[in-house]
Chain A
Amino acid sequence: MLDNIFGIDVLTFLIATPMLGGLLVAALPVDDDVPATKWLPRITALLISVIIGIVAGIVFYQYQQNAPAIGENQFLFEAGPHRWFSAIGASWHLGIDGISAAMVLLTALLTPLAILISWEVSDRPSMHLALLLLFEGASMGVFTAMDMLVFFMFYELSLVPMYFLINQWGSLPQKGVKNSGRFYASTKFMIYSIGGTLGMLLATQIIGFTAGTYEIAEIVSRSGDWLSLSNSANAFLGISVGTVKSLAFFGFMVAFGIKVPIWPFHTWLPDAHGEAPTAGSMLLAGVMLKLGAYGFIRLVVPIFPDVWVSEALLGINWATLFAILSMMGIVLGAFAAFGQNDIKRLVAYSSVNHMGFVGIGIAVMALLYGEAYMAGDSAVASGQMMDAIAATNGAVMQMFNHGLSSAGMFLLAGGIYHKTHTRDLREYGGFWVKAPIFGGVFIFMSMASLGLPGLNGFIGEFLVVRGSWPIFTWLTAISMLGLLFTGGYILKGIRYTLHGKFNMHWKDYNLEIERREFIAIFVLGIFIFWTGLYPNWILTTINASVTTILNGIG
């Protein structure tokens, strides 16, 4: 196994290299009129991200080859715990299991493509590229953290580059609008996220203080009694244990719920995705949304199994409430996407729609996990085991697949915007006439996003629906309405962009896909095909960890 690179353990390398590389790229001189300095930062950034991609690929491969048997400690490549923030008991502790391995791979795959696409940025390009690398480092940190404070730190850190990307490099003002929406969008994004993470910080502190450790695995293994173990005898700062637990749960819930996004915390997303530069949208949709979903699977479900099955309101428990909200996201997200005339906002709402399936998968996992926990079992009841496994695997697959297809969709939408400087679908029309390759690729990507069987998107949805049907039957049935309207908005996008008479306004524009865009799409396309035709290449790895988690409750 690849233990270390230049004496640094490999996961730390995956976090540190993009960040240091980002600093390096930011410092490089850039002058687009001189070929040498024009290409230096661009090539350097791409090279760094490709190296990260290769290392992450090797890590994923080696994890797969050495994957621990089901039931054993699923974490490999562990680094630390090293002394880090010993004053409060936090330590530098990294490691990956099958779920994080998939996410690390996704991050490392999308960043080079985003950087390749950002070559077209001519406004302060080196800083733009540096921010992308910084974001990659932060995301890697979240996905590899085994310490809650490390997790929190990188989770917050990932906001910063994204804020500046939207704020500084976002869209130009659209026709008929005086101000560019990017300031509103970036501020909304920032306040939303910070608002969410405030509660998360509090929750992290409460848990860390009472449990006396920030080790995630440690806390999870004591999830039942971490509060009672605290020195203050069933109370924390004079508040009862139940309340404290609920508060902490709520803090996490809101923070991750905003990120996923779970309806109704999603309204930052269309603005942020719509206004962000192409690369920013790709990483936002491809990676950032996964941070929230990953947080649920890694932290909220295992740490609060009992809270999920306790009553939230009107006699329904938290898991069911979560499923209802996810269902709302699927249905209303699809409707909202259908109602859009702005291509990037349409794709953005499609994320709300798709991530709803991740939400339902998580809800099933949380419900069954919580019920097993309350029953004192160490595994989900055997009659429901397959439901839980299918739903959880489906949620993770959906995360991975949505990362691929939404990044692709944003890439293409950004490509059109870059060429036409408008995002209004109604101003397009008949582009297939002049851009046959673009048309084919656009339909391919749309179909991946639609969840056409044979392509990747179907796998996740199929598994989630399989898992959730016996548990949340009606909710799943209603979600099908959303799946139907997924078709509606996807076809609307194709219809306005490619079909119809060619709009002669664009007669002298070059609308065909560019070589860089095509290379990026091609790489995504390979993964989309591969996952759709033979999902086992990644599912085996995910499934081992998921099964271990569901068999190791309490």
Chain B
Amino acid sequence: MLFDLFGQAFSDKNLMPWLVPFWPLAGFALISLLTLLLQFLQRDFTKPLHTIPATDHNYGGHHPDYDGMDVPYQPFWFRITAIVIGMTAMTLTLFFAWSLVFGALDDFGAGTFGKIPSAEQAVEEEQAAEPEHGATSDCEDCVYQSNIEWMSLGESSETGFRIGTLVDPLTSIMLFMVPIAAGMIFVYSIGYMWHDPRQARFFALICLFAGGMLTLVVADNLMLMFVGWEIMGLCSYSLIGFWYEKESAYNAAVKAFTVTRVADVIMLLGIVYLWSLTGTLNFRDILYNTETLQMLGNTKAILFGSWGLSASGLIGMLVITGTVGKSAQFPLHVWLPDAMEGPTPVSAMIHAAAMVSAGVYAVIRMYPLYVGLSNPHAADPTFSAPLLYMAIAGSFTALFAATMGTAQRDVKAVLAYSTISQLGFMIAALGIGAYIAAAFHLITHAFFKALLFMSSGSVIHAMEHGEHHVHEHHAHAHNRQGHDDHHHDEHGHDEEHFDAQDMFNMGGLRHRIPVTFWTFLIGGLSLSGFPLLTAGFWSKDEILADAWNGTTVHGSGLHMMVFWVLALAAFLTAFYTMRQLGLTFWGDARTEEAEHAGLGGPYSIVSVAMQAPLIVLAFFAIVAGFIGVPPDFPILGSIFSPEHNFFHNLVVYTLPAMANGGAEVFHVEAPPVRFFPVFMSVLVALGGLFVGWLMYWRKPLKAGQADPLIRIVGENVYTTLQRRYYMDDLYDWLFVRPFRWVGINVIKLIDKGFIDGVLHKIAAIFIWIGDFIKTLNAWLIDGVGDGIPKAIFGFGGWMRRTQSGRVQQYLLIVLLAMIAIGILFALSAGALAIG
């Protein structure tokens, strides 16, 4: 049964989406199981198959030396096996994902794909359809979908919970982007992790990561999406903390997991609330059901309902909190800059292909729910609470992160802030109803950001190589042999720590790593939105065009705010990109390390595996923009979009045409090309680049020279920017410390102190009662029982004393005896008399 289905999935496109996440997940399982199998071959299970001294040069990577200890070591062939498994899985995924994407374009075609035809249309099509042309005739939903009952609840299968897969236009664009970006990251990891003894584990984990992302992408319901969402959370945790011996790494891992989990548990509430109101979590069941949306919009929210919040508003706010966490928006952005502690391919995975994109994707997926009964495109635009929240938080984050990006020293940190900032662009676009522009920017951003991160990884790798070279020459007291372990525990040593990621240690790298320079430049220009040529320009321009459209046509203040804030952020983006490029590649080397930087020869496996993906991604960082050129754009429009904007025309059918009120909220036409927004996006891009050029390229920094930015903004502002506006410290004081205090003291005060205290008091009372009874026993019962013999004994002793030999004493005794006898007589006589 299961095998039949599996076999069918190869040919049946409705079942095929299951295969897409299957391969990487199976890859993860296979690598893990092989590790176990190796162990099971051992006679003594606890003895690892291979051990080598931890100081051996084959045991590279980032870890302390552990002098005199043997460590388990996976042999070379095993590492190769893991790489092969990982690459095979990713290739298969790419194949199936793309055959779904292009199959869908072929079967349905852009413009039909995803559509639910109206009733008359369906009849018409049924009549018109030729029998052999199967695709359109059974195109009832015009998507690929299948599902199974997953949890049976209640009496009938209707009330049970079903999970399944769905490939609609939005999924298809993700299915295009994710496998190729992830696949390039895989290739890159072969080179980047080549000297790390835990490369097999790394491949297992990035397989799981890709599997999680693809699960999220093909899911047809919010619950399965949440599963993929959380798998990625686990993977980001494991991979950010991959070099787990570094304190900064595991702290960053814990931070990433905890911060995103804050968001996730809140999101979970939104999911269950939605489920409890609608009885389903299936996207299309909810989004295409006008009655359901109407009901959600009109129901008072279960919390804060008295403040006028509708159920869809509350659900939206709760679910969007998940996005705010995952996509690192203010105020939950704090984890993302730290996340670069992981190996660079992981940063690329998190910042580009997977994790953060997932947040934006999730919002677009459920967009009608957030829009609720409002209409941001109406003549008098209205915004639901979630939209308002997204517009404000998104644009604020875009600017806020961009300012921080300008003052970073770490080459990856600049990119990390630019990710936060660019995601802010997308979220802000979603807040003003421009969901297609957001989706477009999501795709282009994924390509150029993956490119930038991997290029920066290449830079870091080259710098570490240079550092090693310098160490060798200066014959520092590092007692290890071997020439090629060029990043052996750079981070393990505390003494005279050289920061290979600090841009102020670089300079002139364009001569050392020319391929990386050119790809970095392409990525950087795309990020800056360099006009006409780069993908980043087209997508950013569309966001600005949408914002401007709302401002001028409908006179919406929110649109205007978004427009100006994003324009400013775009300016800063271009500026810090130019600063980064200038500091890294331009001028002359500022350190000896930078002078000797390199990737170990142009044809070494490291060099090839790390630079080939850059070239592929650089290609996409340019051409990905041409699928969304506005048709009425001068010259270029008629070249790339002769009929209509391909991207727009494809993605728009993800959502139903009508919103709840019957207004056309989702199938809006792309805004016409206007002079001002285009001029503005050209201006900010070129302006930012120019200022950056002026400050960092014209007169490149010399070694030891301070950042010219300090002169302009002042020392205090610069430090504040570098310290991330002290947000981390604030959170530390507000949350981390109090919660830790409560954690430690809840036991002391409540459990041990109060509850056990009371119990111990009760126990003490009972023990006291027990003691009392015991004493009573000793005194009364034992006193009588033991007392009689004791008394006799004592009496004997006393009697003995009577034999003292003194006459007066004898006389006294005689006297007493006589008195006693007299009394006895008297008493007995009286007694007799009475008797």
B198 nearest CB neighbor, chain A only? A436
Residue pair B276, A332 in contact (C-beta under 8 Å): no
Judge whether A264 is part of the interface by a CB distance below 8 angstroms. Answer: yes
Judge whether A15 is part of the interface by a CB distance below 8 angstroms. Answer: no
Q: Contact partner of B48 among A336, A432, A436, A501, CB < 8 A?
A: A436
> Which residues of A sit under 8 angstroms from B272, Cβ to Cβ?
462, 465-466, 469
Contact with A along B752-774 (1 / 0, CB 8 A): 10011001000100000000000
Residue pair A507, B48 in contact (C-beta under 8 Å): no
- State the CA gap A210–B321 with chains docked (Å): 55
Judge whether A514 is part of the interface by a CB distance below 8 angstroms. Answer: yes
Q: Contact partner of B266 among A338, A443, A480, A514, CB < 8 A?
A: A480
A436-B48, A465-B272 known; A543-B245 Cβ under 8 A: no
- State the CA gap A379–B630 with chains docked (Å): 59
Binds A, one of B114-122, B254-262, B499-507, B714-722: B254-262
Judge whether A440 is part of the interface by a CB distance below 8 angstroms. Answer: yes
Most buried by A among B261, B742, B751: B751
In the assembled complex, the CB of B402 is this many whole angstroms from the nearest CB of chain A, namely 30
In the assembled complex, the CB of A134 is this many whole angstroms from the nearest CB of chain B, namely 28
Judge whether A43 is part of the interface by a CB distance below 8 angstroms. Answer: no
> Which residues of B sit under 8 angstroms from A483, Cβ to Cβ?
265, 268
Q: Contact partner of B746 among A332, A387, A488, A513, CB < 8 A?
A: A332
Residue pair B257, A452 in contact (C-beta under 8 Å): no
Interface bracket on B: 35 or more
In the assembled complex, the CB of B408 is this many whole angstroms from the nearest CB of chain A, namely 26
Contact with B along A458-474 (1 / 0, CB 8 A): 11001101100110011
> Which residues of B sit under 8 angstroms from A437, Cβ to Cβ?
35-36, 39
Residue pair B154, A543 in contact (C-beta under 8 Å): yes
CB interface residues, A 378-415, toward B, < 8 Å: 385-387, 389-390, 393
A466-B275, A491-B254, A514-B45 known; A536-B751 Cβ under 8 A: no
Not counting A453-B223, A551-B155, a sample of 20 additional A-B residue pairs whose C-beta atoms are within 8 angstroms of each other reads A267-B751, A267-B759, A270-B751, A335-B742, A338-B739, A339-B742, A339-B746, A393-B153, A436-B48, A452-B231, A458-B230, A459-B151, A474-B303, A480-B269, A485-B739, A488-B743, A501-B64, A501-B245, A514-B46, A547-B155
Judge whether A430 is part of the interface by a CB distance below 8 angstroms. Answer: yes
- State the CA gap A499–B149 with chains docked (Å): 40
Residue pair A477, B155 in contact (C-beta under 8 Å): no
Residue pair B262, A484 in contact (C-beta under 8 Å): yes
Q: Contact partner of A434 among B35, B45, B71, CB < 8 A?
A: B71
Judge whether A487 is part of the interface by a CB distance below 8 angstroms. Answer: yes
- State the CA gap A247–B501 with chains docked (Å): 70
Judge whether B81 is part of the interface by a CB distance below 8 angstroms. Answer: no
> Which residues of A sit under 8 angstroms from B150, Cβ to Cβ?
534-536
Residue pair B268, A452 in contact (C-beta under 8 Å): no
In the assembled complex, the CB of A541 is this many whole angstroms from the nearest CB of chain B, namely 9
CB interface residues, B 30-68, toward A, < 8 Å: 32, 35-36, 39, 45-48, 54, 63-64, 66, 68
Residue pair B155, A70 in contact (C-beta under 8 Å): yes
Judge whether B72 is part of the interface by a CB distance below 8 angstroms. Answer: yes
Residue pair B257, A491 in contact (C-beta under 8 Å): yes
A264-B755, A385-B154, A470-B276 known; A477-B303 Cβ under 8 A: yes
Judge whether A447 is part of the interface by a CB distance below 8 angstroms. Answer: yes
Can you pick out 5 interface pairs between chain A and chain B where the beta carbons lie within 8 Å of each other?
Answer: A338-B743, A339-B746, A389-B159, A495-B254, A536-B152
> Which residues of A sit under 8 angstroms from B742, Cβ to Cβ?
335, 339
B752 nearest CB neighbor, chain A only? A267
Q: Contact partner of B153 among A264, A340, A440, A543, CB < 8 A?
A: A543
> Which residues of B sit under 8 angstroms from A433, Cβ to Cβ?
54, 63, 66, 71, 245
Judge whether A377 is part of the interface by a CB distance below 8 angstroms. Answer: no
- State the CA gap A70–B157 with chains docked (Å): 12
Judge whether A156 is part of the interface by a CB distance below 8 angstroms. Answer: no
Contact with B along A509-539 (1 / 0, CB 8 A): 0101111001000000000000000111001
Q: Contact partner of A498 among B63, B155, B223, B244, CB < 8 A?
A: B244
Contact with A along B717-751 (1 / 0, CB 8 A): 00000000000000000000001101111110011
Residue pair A386, B254 in contact (C-beta under 8 Å): no
> Which residues of B sit under 8 angstroms from A465, Cβ to Cβ?
268-269, 272
Q: Contact partner of B45 among A466, A487, A515, CB < 8 A?
A: A515
- State the CA gap A453–B258 with chains docked (Å): 16
A487 nearest CB neighbor, chain B only? B261
Contact with B along A364-386 (1 / 0, CB 8 A): 00000000000000000000011
Residue pair B46, A513 in contact (C-beta under 8 Å): yes
B243 nearest CB neighbor, chain A only? A499
Residue pair B32, A440 in contact (C-beta under 8 Å): yes
In the assembled complex, the CB of B444 is this many whole angstroms from the nearest CB of chain A, namely 30
Residue pair B63, A487 in contact (C-beta under 8 Å): no
Q: Contact partner of A453 among B68, B152, B231, B746, CB < 8 A?
A: B231
> Which residues of A sit under 8 angstroms from B244, Cβ to Cβ?
430, 432, 498-500
- State the CA gap A499–B763 with chains docked (Å): 42
A453-B230, A469-B269 known; A499-B250 Cβ under 8 A: yes
Judge whether A13 is part of the interface by a CB distance below 8 angstroms. Answer: no
Judge whether A212 is part of the interface by a CB distance below 8 angstroms. Answer: no
> Which residues of A sit under 8 angstroms from B657, Cβ to Cβ?
none
In the assembled complex, the CB of A500 is this many whole angstroms from the nearest CB of chain B, namely 7
Judge whether B238 is part of the interface by a CB distance below 8 angstroms. Answer: yes
Residues of A at the B interface (CB closer than 8 Å) are 70, 191, 264, 266-267, 270, 332, 335-336, 338-340, 385-387, 389-390, 393, 430, 432-434, 436-437, 440, 443, 447, 452-454, 458-459, 462-463, 465-466, 469-470, 473-474, 476-477, 480, 483-485, 487-489, 491, 495, 498-502, 504, 507, 510, 512-515, 518, 534-536, 539-540, 543, 547, 551
Residue pair B245, A386 in contact (C-beta under 8 Å): no
> Which residues of A sit under 8 angstroms from B154, Cβ to Cβ?
385-386, 389, 543, 547
A506 nearest CB neighbor, chain B only? B69
- State the CA gap A488–B347 with chains docked (Å): 23
Residue pair B64, A339 in contact (C-beta under 8 Å): no
- State the CA gap A22–B395 with chains docked (Å): 69
> Which residues of A sit under 8 angstroms from B759, Cβ to Cβ?
267
Judge whether B637 is part of the interface by a CB distance below 8 angstroms. Answer: no
Judge whether B247 is part of the interface by a CB distance below 8 angstroms. Answer: yes
- State the CA gap A368–B740 with chains docked (Å): 37
B212 nearest CB neighbor, chain A only? A454
Q: Contact partner of B269 among A332, A463, A476, A504, CB < 8 A?
A: A476
- State the CA gap A483–B272 with chains docked (Å): 15
B63 nearest CB neighbor, chain A only? A433
Judge whether B273 is part of the interface by a CB distance below 8 angstroms. Answer: yes
Residue pair B48, A512 in contact (C-beta under 8 Å): yes
Q: Contact partner of B152 among A484, A500, A513, A543, CB < 8 A?
A: A543
In the assembled complex, the CB of B144 is this many whole angstroms from the nearest CB of chain A, namely 22
Judge whether B388 is part of the interface by a CB distance below 8 angstroms. Answer: no
> Which residues of B sit under 8 angstroms from A551, Cβ to Cβ?
155
- State the CA gap A341–B54 with chains docked (Å): 29
Residue pair A462, B746 in contact (C-beta under 8 Å): no
Q: Contact partner of B755 among A267, A432, A470, A500, CB < 8 A?
A: A267
In the assembled complex, the CB of B150 is this many whole angstroms from the nearest CB of chain A, namely 6
Residue pair A454, B227 in contact (C-beta under 8 Å): yes
> Which residues of A sit under 8 angstroms from B164, Cβ to Cβ?
none
B277 nearest CB neighbor, chain A only? A470
- State the CA gap A462–B71 with chains docked (Å): 41
- State the CA gap A488–B261 with chains docked (Å): 10
CB interface residues, B 245-290, toward A, < 8 Å: 245, 247, 250, 253-254, 257-258, 261-262, 265-266, 268-269, 272-273, 275-276, 279
> Which residues of A sit under 8 angstroms from B92, Cβ to Cβ?
none
- State the CA gap A447–B233 with chains docked (Å): 11
Judge whether B647 is part of the interface by a CB distance below 8 angstroms. Answer: no
> Which residues of A sit under 8 angstroms from B230, Cβ to Cβ?
452-454, 458
| Minimum-distance CB pairs A-B, first 6 | A515-B45, A338-B743, A339-B743, A453-B227, A339-B744, A512-B46
Most buried by B among A266, A270, A336, A387: A336
> Which residues of B sit under 8 angstroms from A191, Cβ to Cβ?
763
Residue pair B247, A466 in contact (C-beta under 8 Å): no
